Amino acid sequence: MPNCTSSLPSRRSFELHNEVRELRRQLAANKPSSPILESIPPDGAPDDSTSLLQWALGEEDHHPRGTDGDLAAMDGSTNGGLGLLSNVPENLWTPGLTTKPVIDPPQPPTEAAATVPGGRALGNVELSVAEINTLFTIYMDHFHPFLPFLDPRTSPHDYYESSELLFWSVISAASRRLQGQPTLLPKLARNVTDLLWRNLRSIPYSLRVIQSLIILCAWPFPTSSSTADPTYLLTGMMVLLGSQMGLHQPLNIQDFTKVSMNLNADEHSEWVKTWEACNIVAHSVSVGCGLPAVVQLNEWPLNVAPGVSLALASHDLNPSQNERLVLYRLLDSVFIDLERELDTCVLIRNIAITRIYLSAARLHLHAFYLFDNPTFDGYAERIVTLYQTACSLIQQSLDLESQENSFFDYCPFFYCQVFVCASFILLKIISSHFQSLLDADTGNMLLNAAISALRKMSIANNDLPARLSDVIGFFCSLPNHRISGGQATDSLRLRVRNRLSMSIVYDTLWEWRKHFQTSEGLNNGTPNAEDKCLAVPGPRI
């Protein structure tokens, strides 16, 4: 029995030594040039069981964890257990480290196979090469000037190879006015929306996803109800994703990546244009919805704009009337400077579009006059100014339509919202106590033209522009046209006061629903129908 016990360590040492030798032979056969093999002792390694285990395990237990021995090993000392790996290159994983940085190396540009551009399909939508080229031509000729952030020199095939979502977003915008295929847009609405949500579930995001969102938010798919429109949600996602990518800091893009990255001149220009378009669309959609803007702006004067809007739309006691008048004068002077600068600028290609955007911003500012207290001095003058601003915007739009013969066909939807606001302002003021102070004939003529313009902006039966034009036509056709306004001096005071400059639109829609709900209640013999009008489901916009 003692003999068996005394021979046991030698047998274990021999078996372990043979296993290590076999592993060494296999490693040498598979990776003959591995730097780790250089640190493995030769066949003459100690055959003592204790020293052999220390050699095989890298003397991991020779020093307790957290002792100076471990620190020495991490410093490259040969006394510690990690000294065996001191010759290992830095790009190899060191087993002694508890955390390894995960670095996503930049993907090298892959050269696409030289393929002949062919037709494309998405779900039940199939387009030939000729149809694709026609749609891209429509987009670049008519939609692109409103938001010129894409490169018109890039072919449809290259856009598809870089991003399927961006390709179909361009197709979707152009198909809004494609003659001869009335079913294409409804098909794209389903398929492109599904493709969009699939892309938004995929992380990380690319610049092409942001560009796709810009197009889909500027020219969204038609809907008959504003509550079913996801555009405001998508604009928030668009801005947040762009900020996460570092789109707002193209000169410091390495701060948002795990590897060193620099943009060349063309890439830098593309990032800047995309970020500008992203902010323009996000802010315009927010204003058009009467909701706070989710934007990232680097200029201080633009940073304070949301705060100014909230201040102007707040209750009568906050801010005071004097403070509101100071803000009005200050911002009006800013608009005068911008108009003067635009008149002298020769670098802007589409001055007409820029000028009409400036008029839209002025309208949104003057719309806050409706929040003023009617008893304060200058209220009537401000209402007349608001009326003139609305008339000017509608007339500018009509002039641009007559010159281009396509403005209402291709303008972004957020401009349609501004146009609706101007139309409702005309409707409300013409039907109010201030009618005697205005040129009502011109206002009525512009109001009729606005109805026709909204119907031209419509791209589908019963969509929002078409329904809103019907609302305006409904009020214009009432025997008592003052039902939408009133004869008292405070007839323009708004019931809906929390939708910023668009409160006038939602206030008029409230009156429209109230009229239908009251009529239904009277026809059904329901008492106190007017008191219950808010509880009765009526027409929805």
Q: Are residues 344 and 476 in the same domain?
A: yes
pLDDT of residue 238: 95
Q: Pick from 260, 279, 257, 276: which is nearest to 268 by CA?
A: 276
In the predicted model, what is the mean pLDDT of the chain?
A: 79
Q: Which residue has the higher pLDDT, 62 or 382?
A: 382
pLDDT digits (tens, 9 = 90+) for 426-443: 999 998 888 888 888 999
Q: Are residues 271 and 168 in the same domain?
A: yes
Flag whether 400 is in a domain.
yes
pLDDT of residue 18: 77
On whether the CB atoms of residues 59 and 81 are closer than 8 A, the answer is: yes
What pTM, to 2 d.p., does this model score? 0.74
Contacts of 280 (CB under 8 A, 6+ apart): 147
Q: Are residues 323 and 274 in the same domain?
A: no
Distance CA 374, CA 44 (A): 102
In this prediction, residues 323-350 reach a mean pLDDT of 86
Name the domain boundary from 85, 116, 149. Answer: 85
The string of DSSP letters for 404-421 reads: HS-HHHHS-HHHHHHHHH
In this prediction, residues 151-156 reach a mean pLDDT of 96
pLDDT digits (tens, 9 = 90+) for 306-320: 555 655 665 444 556
On whether the CB atoms of residues 85 and 95 are closer than 8 A, the answer is: yes
pLDDT of residue 523: 59
Flag whether 383 is in a domain.
yes
Task: Assess whether pLDDT exceeds 80 at residue 140.
Answer: yes
Structure tokens at 296: 């990232």
Radius of gyration of the chain (CA): 35
In this prediction, residues 492-512 reach a mean pLDDT of 93
pLDDT of residue 530: 36
In this prediction, residues 495-517 reach a mean pLDDT of 92
pLDDT digits (tens, 9 = 90+) for 251-307: 888 888 887 788 899 999 999 999 999 999 999 999 999 998 876 555 444 455 555
Q: What are phi and psi of 226, to 5 degrees?
A: -65, -25
pLDDT of residue 314: 52
Q: Are residues 158 and 73 in the same domain?
A: no
On whether the CB atoms of residues 391 and 443 are closer than 8 A, the answer is: yes
Flag whether 111 is in a domain.
no
Q: Are residues 135 and 220 in the same domain?
A: yes
Flag whether 298 is in a domain.
no
pLDDT of residue 280: 94
The string of DSSP letters for 209-269 reads: HHHHHHHHHHSPPP-S-GGG--HHHHHHHHHHHHHHHTTT-GGGGGGGSSS-----HHHHH
Q: Are residues 182 and 221 in the same domain?
A: yes
Q: How confident is the model at residue 536 (pLDDT cuts 50, 70, 90)?
A: very low
Element (H, E) at 428: helix 413-430
Task: Assess whether pLDDT exceeds 80 at residue 89.
Answer: no
Flag whether 295 is in a domain.
no
Flag whether 343 is in a domain.
yes
Q: Are residues 274 and 331 in the same domain?
A: no
In this prediction, residues 50-57 reach a mean pLDDT of 45
Q: How many domains does the chain have?
A: 3
Task: Assess whether pLDDT exceeds 60 at residue 95.
Answer: no
pLDDT of residue 79: 43
Distance CA 280, CA 296 (A): 10
Distance CA 69, CA 78 (A): 10
Q: Pick from 193, 191, 257: which is nearest to 220 by CA?
A: 193
CB atoms < 10 A from the CB of 154, how many? Answer: 12
Contacts of 4 (CB under 8 A, 6+ apart): none
Flag whether 511 is in a domain.
no
Q: Are residues 41 and 135 in the same domain?
A: no
pLDDT of residue 296: 54
Q: Which residue has the higher pLDDT, 6 or 462?
A: 462
On whether the CB atoms of residues 230 and 238 are closer than 8 A, the answer is: no
Identify the domain containing residue 148 by its residue range: 124-283
Distance CA 204, CA 148 (A): 25
Q: Are residues 214 and 321 in the same domain?
A: no
Q: Are residues 134 and 36 in the same domain?
A: no
Q: Pick from 274, 229, 239: which is nearest to 417 by CA?
A: 229
Please give the sequence-ordered ranges of beta strands (E in DSSP) within 34-139, or none if there are none.
Answer: 120-122, 125-127
Flag whether 375 is in a domain.
yes
Contacts of 285 (CB under 8 A, 6+ apart): 217, 231, 232, 235, 414
120 forms beta bridges with 127
Q: Which residue has the higher pLDDT, 237 or 78?
A: 237
On whether the CB atoms of residues 255 and 192 are closer than 8 A, the answer is: no
Task: Assess whether pLDDT exceeds 80 at residue 532.
Answer: no
Q: Is 382 exposed, middle or buried (0-12, 13-18, 19+ CB in 10 A)?
A: middle
Distance CA 364, CA 119 (A): 44
Q: Are residues 452 and 316 in the same domain?
A: yes
| Of the candidate ranges 137-151, 411-425, 436-450, the one whose mean pLDDT is the lowest | 436-450
Residue with tokens 């003052």: 482
Distance CA 354, CA 360 (A): 10
Task: Assess whether pLDDT exceeds 70 at residue 244.
Answer: yes
Q: How confident is the model at residue 450 (pLDDT cuts 50, 70, 90)?
A: very high
Q: Are residues 351 and 270 in the same domain?
A: no
